[in-house]
Amino acid sequence: MKPPLTPLLCMLLFCGLLPAAERIAAPLGLDAFLPVPEENPYTEAKAARGRELFFEKELSRDRSVSCATCHDPKLAFTDTRPLAVGVFGRVGNRRVPTLINRAYGKSFFWDGRVATLEEQVLKPILAEKEMDLTLEEAVGRLRAAGKYGAITAREVSHALATYVRTILSGDSAYDRYVADGRSGLTKTAIEGLRVFRGKGNCISCHVGPNLTDERFHNTGIAWRGGMLSDKGYGDGAFKTPTLRDVARRAPYMHDGSLATLEEVIEHYDHGGIFNGALDPELRPLGLSGEEKLALKDFLKSLNGRIGE
């Protein structure tokens, strides 16, 4: 157990006479408390090393792929392909998820199969259809490169996870509207927000500052033709993605099967694709053409200022 802070130490910290721990500042609209594990505290130096590793192609078998190849900063930290493409042109089974605001994540990957960013950042290095290296090979290459010193797998994990925690998006038109109730949104987007919160029932899953409940839902995408193509978390359920910067992230869904926001809105307006495990929140909405346009305009207002 850590010893309690003495009154004198509390006073010195409060007055700024002792150096404060380094921390990540969250932009407008996001939770100011950004979870950071005790075993991997944030430092700017560690984040800078993680960013360097994020763009390092030595971490892939054929030296053609880095983390940034699929998670492109210019594309809201994803790409434009329906399915991920890794080394030697190997095609994966799912869409590249965005890394925006994953610092707030409670589980990772579309099926939530890992619980921490420190574990998640190593999985693509190991995956045959992504980067296809063992950790021993990856660390050996980094050491041979010279600029990383005697780096360890733990240091790779901690640096990459620390960098990913800095990939934050907020300060959108929506956030400015929520902050003062006046500026930020167009009249159409305000109407779209009403649809989002009301008739569209989007807020049942896309809730909170990051616009996701971090839970898993079956919307029928994995059940086309009456057959389950991907069980996901179970019975075709997949994690709710954040809607932050959603207009920059086409195509959509876990398999990239919906090309535009219009198609996504139509999918939910129809109540998803029926199957025995369909989420009970899904039902036909009966949105008008004007309501659909307003909802799209609101979704576009969620584009924020993305830190790199």
Section 28-52 average pLDDT: 97
Give yes or no for a contact between 28 and 179, defined as CB atoms under 8 angstroms apart. Answer: yes
Residue 1 included in any domain: no
Number of domains in the chain: 2
**Nearest Cα residue to 120 out of 105, 101, 140, 139:** 105
CA distance to 23, 41, 172, 251, per residue, from 305 (Å)? 19, 24, 7, 21
Residue type, 232: G
Question: What average pLDDT does range 271-294 have in this prediction?
Answer: 97
**Residue at 11 is within a domain:** no
In a domain, 292, yes or no: yes
pLDDT in tens, 204-235: 999 999 999 999 999 999 998 889 999 999 99
Burial class (CB in 10 A: 0-12, 13-18, 19+), 216: buried
What pLDDT was estimated at residue 24? 93
What 8-state DSSP symbol labels residue 38? T
Among 140, 165, 190, the domain boundary falls at 165
- pLDDT (0 to 100) of residue 20: 52
Amino acid at 203: I
Q: What are phi and psi of 300, to 5 degrees?
A: -65, -25
User: Residue 307's pLDDT is what?
Assistant: 73
Q: 3-state SS of 187-218?
A: HHHHHHHHHHHCCCCHHHCCCCCCCCCCCEEC
State the residue range of the domain holding 245. 171-306
pLDDT of residue 28 exceeding 70 = yes
User: Is position 9 within any domain?
Assistant: no
**What pLDDT score does 7 carry?**
47
User: Are residues 88 and 202 part of one domain?
Assistant: no
Residue 146 and residue 189 in contact, taking contact as beta carbons nearer than 8 Å: no
User: Does the pLDDT of residue 112 top 70, yes or no?
Assistant: yes
pLDDT-derived band at 15, boundaries 50, 70, 90: very low
Question: To which H or E segment does residue 176 belong?
Answer: helix 173-180
pLDDT of residue 183: 83
Window from 21-35, 117-131, 135-149 with minimum mean pLDDT: 21-35
Verify that 28 and 160 share a domain, yes or no: yes
Record the pTM: 0.92
Find out whether the peptide bond into 251 is cis, omega within 30 degrees of 0: yes
Residue 202 placed within a domain: yes
Q: What angle do CA 106, 35, 94 make, to 5 degrees?
A: 35
Flag whether pLDDT at 122 surpasses 80: yes
Based on the fold, state whether residues 144 and 32 are members of the same structural domain. Answer: yes
Domain of residue 271, CATH code: 1.10.760.10
Q: Based on the fold, state whether residues 181 and 155 are members of the same structural domain.
A: no
137 with 187, same domain? no
Looking at the chain, how many residues does it have? 308
Q: In angstroms, rounded to a whole number, what is the distance separating the alpha carbons of residues 105 and 224? A: 29
Answer whether 239's CB lies under 8 Å from 216's CB. yes
Residue 197 pLDDT > 50: yes
Contact 84, 72 (CB under 8 A): no
